[in-house]
Amino acid sequence: MTALQITEKFKTKLYKQIKEIEDNSLVEIVAVIKLQSGTYKDIPYRAGVVVLFLAYTYFMFAPAVFDVYLIYFMTIASFFVGFSIIEFIPSLKRLLTSKKRKNKQVELHARAIFQKAGIRHTSEKIGILIYISLFEKKVTLMADSGAEEALPGEEWQKLEAGFQAIFSTQDTLAALLSQLQTSKAIFSEYIPSVEDDINELPDNIDVEI
């Protein structure tokens, strides 16, 4: 679904960045990267139906005379052509999927992971989920009450804008690492570390929704 390759080398860099944030602040960061948050299977199916209808219309009203078997098989084939074009070209599928629907799917998955993974169960209520959905090109930040109250609203807005901006760059994953580095200073300022701070959450969680 995406040309981005999440390699082991990248994961190592990602976890290193998260560890640096947690070493310099009290926050517990969990990063989840998904290829996509929704299946959107209806989009390629609809495209297949549209192409099928257009093909059938052409065969019915074209001035040339076509063999009935040709009409039958080409009409069926046209459906699979339309379906495949949308299904296997993510940029077209993304274009045909409404922004509202994509955002809703990302939010649903982020909230489900936040709840199921127990990110809200840290002792100081300072768990933060960074949910990155590549197909939808959307980053969602979800924070437990302690972390949310510790940072001023404008700082959260700055963080959200910074993470979302990674999709405006040529190298999304490198931009993600850079933004994590930038966020380290913000977290350390408003949620400073304490002695005997225990890491209560894994840096990456894979939860089936």
Domain ranges within the chain, ordered by starting residue:
8-38+98-190, 42-96
- The CA-atom distances, in angstroms, between 66 and each of 97, 100, 127, 133 are 36, 44, 65, 47
pLDDT band at 41 (very low <50, low <70, confident <90, very high): very high
Q: What is the mean pLDDT of residues 150-170?
A: 95
The predicted model scores a pTM of 0.88
Over residues 121-136, the pLDDT tens digits come to 888 899 999 999 999 9
> 4 by DSSP, 3-state: which?
coil
Topology of domain 8-38+98-190, per CATH? Diaminopimelate Epimerase; Chain A, domain 1 (3.10.310)
